[in-house]
């Protein structure tokens, strides 16, 4: 959800540009013109697995997800497939049976069907109690979960699921002390020294990660921080997404997290408060194609960071 992006080198098809400009002119919410950048071509010199022989990764599509396998997380899927993973869509509610078909389960920006086009309070849960119980038990017994919830209203839709693992989301928008919502985490500024950031080899080391407007969270569990929010940051808590007033409440976000991992029973969990960092997307604004995510120059290490996160979740040797 980018506000000042740089132009990408590849131009989209004319028909796509025309459609997006028409949407923008019609006054549609900016989320309507947020598209996957299918020109993004990640390179992996040494894939973790031979093509199609790695662990099975299921991307949740059963909960009105804003990011899906063939949609805004198509670049996510492309990257992981090039690393040898089998990437599939999970189109059924979460049960022991459905979760058991894969090794990793990815939930990105799930939301209740009733709130899909209604981004204002109150926010209904995206997952039922039985689904939450099934996911929690599956992880506890050895499954691996990647849970991503962007800015409001997404955190509110999955706060019950997150709380089942001792994670407490803020249903708002994160801004640093300068009012910026796109944060650069470095070794000197919030990026942890961890097996995930160090990688399995020197070529996999990550020293910088960029995020693109999201939320921050706290944890009571024994989490391992990856991305710690800078001092002076705040989470703004509007009633309706992107509608801010002088009276909009906010909370201090010092010490809160935008990324962390957790060993839960026999399983593993990775949690992030921002979704675009793991995709490659673009918008048309002011007749210009603006990129955000793994395709942005300032996020050049985000692809490796994603690979490392998935390697940790799938217990690749060295992680």
- The 10 Å Cβ neighbour count of residue 140 is 14
The domain spanning residue 47 has which CATH number?
3.40.50.880
Looking at the domain assignment, is residue 5 inside a domain?
no
pLDDT of residue 285: 82
Q: Is the dihedral of CA 157, 165, 144, 254 positive or negative?
A: positive
pLDDT of residue 20: 33
pLDDT of residue 32: 46
Looking at the domain assignment, is residue 3 inside a domain?
no
Looking at the domain assignment, is residue 318 inside a domain?
no
Looking at the domain assignment, is residue 6 inside a domain?
no
CA torsion angle 79 80 81 82 (round to 10): 50
Looking at the domain assignment, is residue 319 inside a domain?
no
Q: Is the pTM higher than 0.95?
A: no
Looking at the domain assignment, is residue 260 inside a domain?
yes
Domain count of the fold of the chain: 1
pLDDT of residue 284: 86
**CA neighbor of 105 nearest in space, from 57, 68, 149:** 57
Cβ 235 vs Cβ 174: under 8 Å: yes
Q: How far is CA 291 from the centre of its chain?
A: 16
pLDDT in tens, the chain (319 residues): 333 333 222 333 433 333 333 333 333 344 447 899 999 998 898 999 999 999 999 999 999 999 999 999 999 999 999 999 999 999 999 999 999 999 999 999 999 999 999 999 999 999 999 999 999 999 999 999 999 999 999 999 999 999 999 999 999 999 999 999 999 999 999 999 999 999 999 999 999 999 999 999 999 879 999 999 999 999 999 999 999 999 999 999 999 999 999 999 999 999 999 999 999 999 988 888 889 999 999 999 999 999 999 999 999 998 9
Looking at the domain assignment, is residue 232 inside a domain?
yes
pLDDT of residue 21: 36
pLDDT of residue 288: 87
pLDDT of residue 148: 98
Q: Which domain holds residue 28?
A: 14-313
**CA neighbor of 226 nearest in space, from 256, 246, 248:** 256
């Amino acid at each position: 959800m980018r506000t000042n992006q740089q132009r990408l080198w590849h131009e989209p098809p004319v028909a796509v540009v025309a459609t997006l400009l028409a949407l923008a002119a019609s006054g549609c919410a900016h989320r309507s013109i947020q598209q996957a950048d299918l020109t993004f071509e990640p390179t992996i010199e040494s894939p973790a697995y031979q093509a199609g022989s790695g662990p099975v990764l299921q991307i949740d599509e059963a909960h009105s997800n804003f990011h899906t396998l063939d949609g805004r997380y198509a670049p996510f899927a492309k990257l992981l497939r090039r690393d040898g993973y089998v990437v599939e869509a999970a189109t059924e509610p979460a049960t022991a049976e459905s979760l058991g078909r894969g090794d990793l389960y990815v939930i990105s920006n799930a939301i209740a069907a009733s709130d899909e086009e209604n981004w204002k309070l109150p926010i209904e849960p995206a997952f039922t109690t039985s689904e939450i119980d099934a996911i929690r038990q599956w992880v506890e017994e050895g499954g691996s979960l990647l849970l991503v919830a962007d800015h409001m209203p997404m955190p509110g839709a999955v706060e019950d699921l997150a709380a089942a693992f001792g994670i407490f989301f803020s249903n708002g928008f994160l801004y640093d002390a300068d009012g910026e919502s796109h944060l650069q985490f470095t070794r000197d500024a919030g990026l942890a020294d961890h097996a995930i950031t160090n990688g399995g080899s020197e070529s996999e080391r990550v020293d910088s990660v960029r995020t693109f407007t999201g939320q921050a969270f706290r944890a009571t569990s024994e989490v391992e921080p990856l991305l710690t929010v800078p001092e002076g940051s705040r989470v703004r808590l509007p009633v309706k997404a992107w509608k801010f007033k002088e009276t909009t409440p906010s909370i201090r976000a010092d010490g809160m997290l935008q990324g962390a991992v957790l060993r839960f029973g026999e399983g593993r969990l990775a949690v992030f408060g921002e979704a675009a960092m793991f995709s490659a997307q673009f918008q048309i604004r002011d007749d210009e194609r603006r990129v955000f995510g793994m395709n942005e120059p300032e996020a050049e290490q985000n692809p490796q960071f994603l690979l490392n996160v998935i390697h940790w979740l799938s217990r690749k040797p060295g992680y």
